[in-house]
Amino acid sequence: MNPVASTYVEETSFGFWFLQSHVWQQHVLRVAINDLKRLAGAGLPADPVLLDAGCGQGKSFGLLQAAFAPAQLIGVDADPASLDCSRAEAERLGLSVQLLANDCAALQLADASVDLLFCHQTFHHLVEQEQALGEFWRVLKPGGLLLFAESTQFYIDTWVIRWLFRHPMQVQKTAAGYLAMLRGQGFEFTEQNVSYPYLWWSRATDFGLLERWGICKPKPFGQRNETLVNVVARKPPAMLAE
């Protein structure tokens, strides 16, 4: 494992391939970004500095540009091969993206330098989750937003995901666990800033086929184990005084 990647679990060969796929870009990334923009409502800053923490192969760059129109886009990833792909993707799209070979638990960015921090399907790869969240808090400006989209342990801890991908199982959390962690760091959000998508690909036992075939009905919210959680969390503006 590369030294810079010492606090995250590297992806499998299948996982690396999947992160280049149409399914990943259109059914995972695009859907999450649209939902996070909706959850943010009118609270989005104009011309933000936007950090993509765990940018992978850069398939988010065009979607983030279209959704949030950042004045500056920064991509961070600990995997050199992924950063090479991100660089090529930025060039293909004609976007100026600052790329950093960085661990999320030790970001090489100045305090209070970021308006929006996009963290999509990254946290479940991180061993040092609390340290990474502390870094997110540090680099966000007072009033800045964390756009957080994550799979829960009820998705990660299934046989098909264990077979195809690789994750640090000891740190996986429920939706409630992730929300508690964000609040524990000091982030603020209400129910209007949180969603629990129940997408077909997040049902790893049958990918929603039994429902589509009419064999069973989908379980309503509150009667199922949530597989995904999206939240837009704000660093309080009051931190400016500290």
Q: What is the pLDDT of residue 134?
A: 97
pLDDT (average), residues 164-183: 85
Any idea what the CATH number is for the domain that residue 183 is in? Answer: 3.40.50.150
Range of the domain at 232: 3-241
- Our count of domains for the chain comes to 1
Rounded (to 5) percent helix, strand, coil in the chain: 45, 20, 35
14 — pLDDT class (breaks 50, 70, 90): confident
- With beta carbons less than 8 A apart as the criterion, state whether 231 and 193 touch: yes
pLDDT (average), residues 130-145: 97
pLDDT (average), residues 213-240: 76
Q: Which of 66, 70, 77 is nearest to 121 (CA)?
A: 77
Q: Which of 3-7, 15-19, 215-219 has the highest mean pLDDT?
A: 15-19
217 — pLDDT class (breaks 50, 70, 90): low
107 — pLDDT class (breaks 50, 70, 90): very high
5 — pLDDT class (breaks 50, 70, 90): very low
Q: Which of 11-20, 73-82, 161-170, 195-204 has the highest mean pLDDT?
A: 73-82
Q: Which of 133, 139, 142 is nearest to 50 (CA)?
A: 139
pLDDT (average), residues 141-147: 97
Strand order through the sheet with 72-77: 97-101, 72-77, 49-53, 114-120, 140-151, 228-234, 194-195
With pLDDT > 70 as the criterion, what percentage of the chain qualifies? 79
